[in-house]
Amino acid sequence: MKKFITAILAVLYISTSTGAMVHMHYCMGQLADWGLGITNPKPAVNVAWRKAMKKTMAAARMSINS
């Protein structure tokens, strides 16, 4: 019995100390999606953002030079 309790406590300790994250998304009061861990944004989003920033900076440079 002591080994069982020790095993349960070990699993509890390890699961809480690792930094795992449970993400639950609710839509209109109902669980719509859930996931484990941290999800990173898609790289395409970052590429599109960089392209938009380059265009904005180029337009700003042209307006300053004009």
Its pTM stands at 0.33
Give SS3 for 32: strand
Q: Would you state the pLDDT for residue 41? A: 56
Q: Which of 41, 36, 42, 39 is nearest to 19 (CA)?
A: 36
Q: What is the pLDDT along the chain (66 residues), one digit of tens a residue?
A: 999 999 999 988 887 777 667 788 888 888 888 887 765 655 656 677 777 888 888 887 777 766
Structure tokens at 56: 């904005």
Q: What is the largest CA-CA distance in the chain?
A: 81
Give the start-to-end residue ranges of the domains of the chain: 2-65
